[in-house]
Amino acid sequence: MKRIFLLAMVIIMIFFCGCGGANSASTGKAAYRQVSSDQARQMMETESNYIILDVRTQKEYAEGHIPKAICIPNEVITKEAPALLPDKEQKIFVYCRSGRRSKESAQKLADMGYKNIIEFGGIKDWHGEVVTE
């Protein structure tokens, strides 16, 4: 009887608490928002006062980037807030080539206390304008 009660309690706890999903409450990590590149482009068309952050290498950035994007490579983003990102409340759209580095960078920024991070994957899925240096 005790075992059945304990098993029922465990099942109830898993049901109500989840089992380690990707949200910040269950992982204990700060959160960022993830959207598609098309959603990000629509947001950029209707909003203002945001930063577009390209986290690829400087060479990749020079080969083609979203207009007005700034480049801070993922490898440079560590535990200190980047000087080019002084406002932790400002909306920051983050992208890379395919989405892996942008997710890493978005998480690092969220962990540093940035509150409005929008990660939208890679430039390979971008359907908007691209410029070169």
Average pLDDT per consecutive 10 residues, the chain (133 residues; last block may be shorter): 49 41 52 97 97 98 98 96 96 98 98 97 97 90
Task: Mark whether 17 is an active-site residue.
Answer: no
Q: 32 with 115: CB under 8 angstroms?
A: no
User: Which residues sit opposite 50 in a β-bridge?
Assistant: 91
User: Which tokens in the block code for residue 26?
Assistant: 């269950």
- The CATH class given to the 23-125 domain equals alpha beta
Res 30: pLDDT: 86
Res 12: pLDDT: 46
Backbone φ, ψ for residue 131 (5° rounding): -120, 160
Res 133: pLDDT: 80
> pLDDT digit string (tens) for 44-56?
999 999 999 999 9
> pLDDT digit string (tens) for 104-124?
999 999 999 999 999 999 999
Res 29: pLDDT: 76
